[in-house]
């Protein structure tokens, strides 16, 4: 029916059979941004939120999100991640918090969804912790920027 790997010939959803695939080292990096008012960013940097250190909590949430990806995305395989790194960087020139997540493993399927989930969950956590003072925050530009390993090889975003 299509070239989509998660559909059978009749268009039904299916989990891809990775049983015959070769185990390789795989990694994926995703990025995203939370745009906000300058006052909100200043309060994050000064650790002035009653809920706690926004960047540390969001970093932990991103790591947990990567680990929970198969519970959130219906056709993702449960994976034995060997590394999840989530970095949140305030940028006062853009009134933004930039988020980057890199996931790694040795396995039969990639970790793109885990990296994207880590970024998204970290961004949602920033929003949740700061929404009392800035409901107009904007989560943007969540995207895969690098992937390596597996049959399809390396991908680098422009």
- In tens, the pLDDT along 18-77 reads 767 788 999 999 999 999 999 999 999 999 898 889 999 999 999 999 999 999 998 899
Give 75-82 contacts, CB < 8 A, sequence gap 24+.
Answer: 75/6, 75/13, 75/14, 75/15, 75/16, 76/113, 77/15, 77/16, 77/18, 77/109, 79/105, 79/107, 79/109, 79/111, 79/114, 80/105, 80/107, 81/105, 81/111, 81/114, 82/106
Confidence of residue 150 (pLDDT cuts 50, 70, 90): confident
Of the two residues 110 and 91, the one the predictor is more confident about is: 91
pLDDT at 51: 85
Does residue 1 have a pLDDT over 50? Answer: no
* Average pLDDT of span 69-91: 95
pLDDT at 10: 76
- Extents of the domains making up the chain: 24-156
71 is an active site residue: no
CATH architecture of 24-156: 2-Layer Sandwich (3.30)
Options 71, 128, 134, 141, the catalytic residue:
128
């Amino acid at each position: 029916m299509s070239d989509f790997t998660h559909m059978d010939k009749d268009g039904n959803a299916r989990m891809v059979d990775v049983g015959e695939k070769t185990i390789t080292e795989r990694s994926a990096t995703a990025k995203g941004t939370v745009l906000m008012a300058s006052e909100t960013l200043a309060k994050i940097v000064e650790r002035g939120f009653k809920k706690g250190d926004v960047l540390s909590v969001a970093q932990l949430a991103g790591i947990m999100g990567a680990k929970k990806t198969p519970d959130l995305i219906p056709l993702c395989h449960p994976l034995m991640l060997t590394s999840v790194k989530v970095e949140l960087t305030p940028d006062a020139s853009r009134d933004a918090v930039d988020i980057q997540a890199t996931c790694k493993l040795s396995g039969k399927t990639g970790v793109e969804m885990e990296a994207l989930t880590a970024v998204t969950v970290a961004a949602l956590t920033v929003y949740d912790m700061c929404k009392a003072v800035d409901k107009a925050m904007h989560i943007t530009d969540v995207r895969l920027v690098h992937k390596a390993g597996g049959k399809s090889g390396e991908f680098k975003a422009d």
